Chain A
Amino acid sequence: MKIIIAGCGKIGESLIGALVKEGHDVIAIDKDSEALSEIINIYDVIGVCGISTDCEVLAEAGADKADMFIAVTGTDELNMLSCYIAKTLGAKHTIARIRDRAYNENNLDFLQQKLGLSMSINPERFAAYDIYHVLKFPSAVHVETFSTRNFEIIELILKENSPLSGVKVIDLRKLNPAKFLICAVQRGEQVYIPDGNFELRSGDKIALTAAPTEILKLLRGLKLTQKQAKNVMILGGSRTSYYLAKRLLASGSTVTIIDKDPVRCQELCDALPGATIILGDGANQELLLEEGLREVDAFVTLTNIDEENILISYYASSMNVPKIVTKVNRNEFIPLASNLGLDTIVSPRRTICDVILRLTRALHNSVGSNVEKLYKIMDGNAEALKFNVSPDFKYSNIPLKEIKFKKNILIAGIIRNNKALIPTGDDAIQLGDKVIVISTGHTLYDLADIIA
């Protein structure tokens, strides 16, 4: 697909990287020629220097023939306007980053409709929802809910002396009555799709699926339960903090937000009447202890400085806070933070890339058994894809154990009549099902791609 990206900031660059890797033709627009030449040096793209609301710049970038136009400059209004112009010129799909709270809460639908936007993205809001899901299941480091709500993939890390370490996957089912499936295991940098003989070790990060009704039972059986975080402390009063706090307050948790900017504190006070807002420097350990760091269920660092987030999270983990969520913007820092033992890391940039990739894959193939949803799991090292089974899929009604799949492919779930089914070798894919496939090392566009 031909995709134009206006704005080569942090999000823009991550998007360009992800889309080029997928094999799309990408054209980057930025008014800063130095930022642009940096991008051209690293990625195989064309750069057009200029302001993205300028018709001539858009024409030079070929907006009239673009399949997708994504505006991620620093200004909401610029994004909306350039999307509108691109759409008028003939771009098929337009996506604008709209971050301002006023737009998001009051008239987003109206704007999307009037401007002809296919989608608006708000990285902070997406990140906040990610964090919210994790806080609901604190023993998991990451929870991916497929839209139907009846299928979840939970990532968790096997701690030292976990009862699961040294257990083979095949024996696991005997140990536990609940129906579940281990989809992927990350050991060090390597991601495995395990077969029955795979032996788990402590320190592994595993992704597992189970029917939502059985998840709690399962986690209890594996002695992995941890109660939902009810008392949350948030460091930094960013936009993400606002969306997260709002969500948490609505679900009845207590929220404390610490920020050092008096003006920002005032604004948050106005917007979030239920939350406790503390004016102070979060790097001050005395302050954190005074505000009850030892008593909280979860501690979330959301300042705009990655280094600060990582170090303060590290301090909190030394204070034995049960659950710590760290926001890291720069992709390079994510492995460093994991090395420090910070397991739950949220990156707004990565979240946005996932959302856009999901959309491009879905648009790529509108006939056949196309991708309906795509989720990056295991820090982006594996993918979970949801396919619709169409009549031209040749392997329906054949038991799974008789089909030869490609390497590193696993059918993690079949959704039939809105009910999730954890498949065994005797189950078969039927017409009209939705199939969830876990893969690593493949780029899948169609369900037929999984057959060897």
Chain B
Amino acid sequence: MNRRMVLNTLGYISVANAILMLLPTIVSIIYREACLWAFLITIGISLLMGLLLILLSRPGTKVIYAKEGFVIVSYAWLIMAGIGALPFVISGEIPSYVDAFFEMVSGFTTTGASILTDVEAMSKGLLFWRSFSHWIGGMGVLVFVMAIIPNISDRSIHILRAEMPGPEVGKLRPKAGDTAKILYLIYIVMTVVQIVLLLFGGMPLFESLVHTFGTAGTGGFGVKADSIASYSPYLQWVIAIFMIFFGVNFNLYYLILIRKIKSVFKSTELWAYLGIIIVSITLICINIYSMYDGFSETLRASVFQVASIISTTGYATTDFNLWPVLSKTVLLIIMIVGACAGSTAGGLKVSRAVILVKAVFREFKKMLHPRSVRVVKMEGKSVEENTLSSVTTYFAVYMMCVLMIFLCLGFEPFSIETNFSATLACFNNIGPGLGSVGPTSSYAQYSDFSKILLSIAMLLGRLEIYPLILGLNPVVWKKR
């Protein structure tokens, strides 16, 4: 275990956190809010801690292995959320640290689950910071650090692999640092385009920024109690379409960038993702047609909600808690599936779902023809047995974790629908669930114990389980 290198990297994370917090500080200066001091104190703490770590650790060697990658990623996320929660507590707007921690974990993991009962009473600086954390967390904190600091480690692929979601992590460029830069470049361009489109639709600048951050990171924090419902249909459509865009594998955007558009259309995952969206929209449209007046409104409501849930964003334009059971079931199922690997979204990931389904069919055929040899194909290439078994194992571990958390929530006095959807909504980084945690209510009613449990669920979901479990396990800290 290269502890010095781990501490050194965590120091850089802390400094990066301080730098990123300058943005909400500027916002609170513009709006002349009291939370300015909360930000300044937190920046001081974060900077001091980071510089101390960097100066004191002085790694002898920059070589890290998979183990260090896991440890760095899991602690980095805890530090970001831990420090990020301080401004809320210092300013007194969220007095309980557990609540503030839940809110920030929810921010960085791009969940968007909130314990706030009255969002509109919060100061602008804090609201901005909450949404900005979606934007940072969407592409990954360490990917960001990797993009700005050259040569953070000789073997940074281990960090990239531990933080990027999906069954396989492919680099776009030979150097991990260059890959991180390209990903962020694509991310920033798409963000800017959305901000411009929202401004064009008449949304004020502050709200455009907050909602774009929420969409880009597929998070879902807003500034209004009724989420997106009060905005014009044009704005709703823009947000819905961008939610679907941010759920697409970013490698495909890179392919468009280098003019390999043909291979984009060959992507199995993309077609599966779009297929699931269209089927879900059709089912829900038919199911809820009687509840809305006119086709266009029905379509808009179902498209927005499906896009919001499958991209694991969690914005809402209508209270889908009131929808019939079939529609709610469809939403629950696409909560689990999630969006494409290599996007900012959470969930199981479409590519895993496709591989799982194909593996199941192969198993069936094998039962009929025991000696047949078959390979599972994905993106035009055969999937290696290693990947296949890691996908099935991941699914098993995923189900186990979900069920464990669901079991622990059983102590709460809520309906099974509420508890189950809360588990899924947190684990898959969506935000609002059904029942008492539906789009119009919040997680405030849960006890502190459950809030911590759900925070862990959000981190497990965002980091895809292994890094957190392995990284926080004291065994890996032992000297070799």
Contacts and interface: CB of A to CB of B under 8 A. Distances in A.
Interface of A: 2, 25-27, 33, 40-46
A46 B155 contact: no
B155 A27 contact: no
Contacts of B173: 25, 46
Interface of B: 66, 154-158, 171, 173-178, 384
B154 A44 contact: yes
Contacts of A46: 171, 173-174
A46 B171 CA distance: 6
Contacts of B174: 2, 25-27, 44-46
A43 B177 CA distance: 13
Nearest to A25: B174
Nearest to B177: A44
Contact of A41 (B66, B176, B177, B178): B66
24 contacts: A2-B174, A25-B173, A25-B174, A25-B175, A25-B178, A27-B174, A33-B384, A41-B66, A41-B155, A41-B157, A41-B158, A42-B155, A43-B155, A44-B154, A44-B155, A44-B156, A44-B174, A44-B175, A44-B176, A44-B177, A45-B174, A46-B171, A46-B173, A46-B174
Nearest to B179: A46
Contacts of A42: 155
Contacts of A27: 174
Nearest to A37: B386
A46 B158 CA distance: 13
Contacts of A40: 157
The CB with the most chain A CB atoms within 10 A, among B155, B156, B174, B176, is that of B174
The CB with the most chain B CB atoms within 10 A, among A2, A27, A42, A44, is that of A44
A43 B158 CA distance: 10
Nearest to A33: B384
Contacts of B171: 46
A117 B157 CA distance: 33
A63 to B, nearest CB: 14
A41 B158 CA distance: 7
Nearest to B172: A46
Nearest to B63: A42
Nearest to B65: A41
Nearest to B263: A60
Contacts of B158: 41
A67 B154 CA distance: 23
Contacts of A44: 154-157, 174-177
The 3 A-B residue pairs with the shortest CB-CB distance in the complex, in nearest-first order: A25-B174, A46-B174, A45-B174
Contacts of B177: 44
A162 to B, nearest CB: 33
B262 to A, nearest CB: 13
Nearest to B178: A25
Contacts of B155: 41-44
A441 to B, nearest CB: 15
The CB with the most chain B CB atoms within 10 A, among A2, A33, A40, is that of A40
Given A33-B384, A44-B155, A44-B174, 15 more contacts: A2-B174, A25-B174, A25-B175, A27-B174, A41-B66, A41-B155, A41-B157, A42-B155, A44-B154, A44-B157, A44-B175, A44-B176, A44-B177, A46-B173, A46-B174
A46 B178 CA distance: 12
A360 B158 CA distance: 28
A6 to B, nearest CB: 15
B34 to A, nearest CB: 46
Nearest to A34: B386
Nearest to A40: B157
B216 to A, nearest CB: 27
The CB with the most chain B CB atoms within 10 A, among A33, A43, A45, A46, is that of A46
B132 to A, nearest CB: 30
A16 to B, nearest CB: 10
A59 to B, nearest CB: 10
A44 B172 CA distance: 12
A91 to B, nearest CB: 15
Contacts of A33: 384
A44 B176 CA distance: 6
A90 to B, nearest CB: 15
B193 to A, nearest CB: 28
Contacts of A26: 174
A2 B174 CA distance: 9
A28 to B, nearest CB: 9
A262 to B, nearest CB: 43
B124 to A, nearest CB: 41
A33 B174 CA distance: 17
A44 B171 CA distance: 10
Nearest to A47: B171
A46 B155 CA distance: 12
A311 B174 CA distance: 40
A26 B178 CA distance: 12
B126 to A, nearest CB: 39
B105 to A, nearest CB: 30
Contacts of A41: 66, 155, 157-158
A409 to B, nearest CB: 23
A33 B385 CA distance: 12
The CB with the most chain A CB atoms within 10 A, among B66, B156, B173, is that of B173
Contacts of B178: 25
